[in-house]
């Protein structure tokens, strides 16, 4: 019997407000930087929430064209439930576009491969199912925010 081909179902759109990067420097032949998360909004199918301030995106600029991202933050739903987010991502673009992103300049999202695999954790009984699913997403970096569309892998 053939295995099922996974399908994607919309989960949520996130708009993550970010601060200026904190440059750590070169480590392990890559540039380490931390991007503080200031807040943001989440719009799901039938639910809404806000991103709480205090998280960060821990970036490793691995080459002129590749950045490895590891963002961690908390979402609070309008119902008061909290969700811990661990979002690992890969962002690839030409060296010129990558340099603009690092400098905080706007770029056309179509020029950037930005894919992610977020993991969600919650103690909420209503949202407990998210602890048992795999998610994938696509993103875009803007000077003051990151926009992410997340899907459940069904």
Kindly provide the residue ranges of all beta strands, DSSP E only, lying in the chain, ordered along the sequence: 8-18, 22-27, 30-44, 48-51, 56-61, 66-77, 82-92, 113-122, 135-142, 145-153
- In the prediction, which pLDDT does 45 show? 87
Q: Quick check: is 3 in a domain?
A: no
Q: Quick check: is 146 in a domain?
A: yes
Give the C-alpha separation, 5 to 144, whole Å: 37
Instruction: Give the domain extent around 102.
Output: 8-153
Count structural domains, the chain: 1
Residue 134 neighbours by CB distance under 10 Å:
12
Q: Read off the CATH number of the domain in which 108 is found.
A: 2.40.160.20
pTM of the model: 0.92
- In the prediction, which pLDDT does 5 show? 94
Q: Quick check: is 135 in a domain?
A: yes
Q: Quick check: is 136 in a domain?
A: yes
- In the prediction, which pLDDT does 62 show? 93
**Per-residue pLDDT tens listing for the chain (154 residues):** 899 999 999 999 999 999 999 999 999 889 999 999 999 999 998 899 999 999 999 999 999 999 999 999 999 999 999 999 999 999 999 999 999 988 889 899 999 999 999 999 999 999 999 999 999 999 999 999 999 999 999 9
Q: Quick check: is 1 in a domain?
A: no
- In the prediction, which pLDDT does 1 show? 87
């Amino acid at each position: 019997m053939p295995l099922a081909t996974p399908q994607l179902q919309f989960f949520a759109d996130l708009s993550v407000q970010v601060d200026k990067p904190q440059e750590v420097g070169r480590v392990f032949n890559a540039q380490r930087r931390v991007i503080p998360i200031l807040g943001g909004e989440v719009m799901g199918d039938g639910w809404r929430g806000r991103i709480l301030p205090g998280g960060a995106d821990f970036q490793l600029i691995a080459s002129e064209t590749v950045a490895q991202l590891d963002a961690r933050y908390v979402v609070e739903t309008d119902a008061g439930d909290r969700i811990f987010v661990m979002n690992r991502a890969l962002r690839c673009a030409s060296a010129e576009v990558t340099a603009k992103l690092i400098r905080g300049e706007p770029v056309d999202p179509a020029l950037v491969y930005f894919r992610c695999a977020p993991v969600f954790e919650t103690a909420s009984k209503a949202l407990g199912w998210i602890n048992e699913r795999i998610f994938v997403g696509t993103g875009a970096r803007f000077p003051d925010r990151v926009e992410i569309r997340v899907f459940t892998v069904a």
